[in-house]
Amino acid sequence: MPPGATRPYGEHGSWVCSPHAPRPEVSHPVDARVPGAFRLPPVRLLRAQRRLRAGLLELLFVGIGLALGLALPRVTEGPTVEGGKAAQLLFTLGLGVVGVVTIVFSLLFSVVQWSASTFSPRLSIFRDDPLVWRTFAVTLGGFVFCITAGTAGGSADRVSLLVPITATVATLTALGLIWALQIRAFRSMQLSRVLAALAARGRAVIDDLYPSAFSVPAGVPVTPAPSAPLRIVTWTGPPAVLQQLDLRRLVQAAAQADALVVFRVGVGSALQEGSPLADIHHGELSDEVVRAAVVRGAERSFDQDPMLAIRLLADIALRALSPAVNDPATAVDSLDATEGLLRVLAGRNLWVGDIADGDGVPRVRLVLPTWEDYLRTAVEDLLPVATGIPMVLERIQVMLTNLVETSPAPRHAALLQLASRVCALLAACRYEPLSTEAGR
């Protein structure tokens, strides 16, 4: 399929369950590539950089705790307390906080396990919450301070009153963060909170990835595909998931080499050893530079993956519709959140795969989902399990109707095709009342 081409669903049907309903006009193809419609790399922080920041924060608090633990016992000015009693207090506070943290994190592990089994095993919102590692950093720093200050000042006759005060403040701060962490964990067990968090994370990625409104100028040709690649870059590492791309460094390197990097896999795709990763067109760019731009991991992340939020919402609905759970109301709630994301996507320009350098020359071409891909994940995957459940089918019908009414005309073809299928499923699961003679 050439770049810029769409994957149509075929002949569309009526968007309401009536053969006489008007059909909106479908014009030019969806998401046509417009020459010159390039953009600079997005500004979202790389996941690898955030993990590094978390590790640096923990190391920083350990260093602060160690420095204060060595310095404060040497302060001789101001009020003082007995060194032995202060040491006992410090050891008690330090070991006590560690014990509380152990219990709380065991509880949080149970909460994460419960959320994974109830909603989706791919749901990692709470597990990746910055509050988790911030709490750990503060607790670790307080523990190091208490042990260091207790050891350094335990043999002294008198130590500054600042030592127990600092230990108490650090302990109270850690306990406050632990309390906030517990509240956050319990909220992550509530369906409404989870759906709202997924919608917010998905909206943040969409706003960053698709900043411009939908617009297809008339008479503008589709951007032609690049010529045959000079070289194919393959993945040489272990099997992993493509979580992010360091686009800024890759664009700079491609600009220096006057090259165009066309990726064959998108963010969220699995990377297998020896599988094609990208094509390099014109210019001499090292394969290692392309591989170095890949941030890999064991699972998908929200950072540059616009499909993940919709995938998780669909997972929650699928699990709710399974025979073991049989909770169609949860599926309807999930569709409410899904509609909000689809409404935003319908009004955005989804062809933003060409990343340009500072001079406006495209240097990287990404693999991004199309409008049909989003609908396939959000709606079509639910239809087999939603068959025979009018409550869910009617909610899908309302969602498709709302999207047709609010989305640009080029988005309608896929919506109409899905709506016709939903109407057929609804008609099949509605029972006509028996007549009086037939019931005798």
pLDDT in tens, 270-285: 999 999 999 999 888 9
Between these two residues, 49 and 349, which has the higher pLDDT value? 349
Mean pLDDT on 54-76: 89
Q: Which of 4, 22, 2, 3 is nearest to 12 (CA)?
A: 22
Local confidence band at 52 (pLDDT 50, 70, 90 cut-offs): low
| pLDDT value, residue 420 | 94
Report the mean per-residue pLDDT for the chain: 82
| pLDDT value, residue 4 | 38
Between these two residues, 21 and 224, which has the higher pLDDT value? 224
Local confidence band at 103 (pLDDT 50, 70, 90 cut-offs): confident
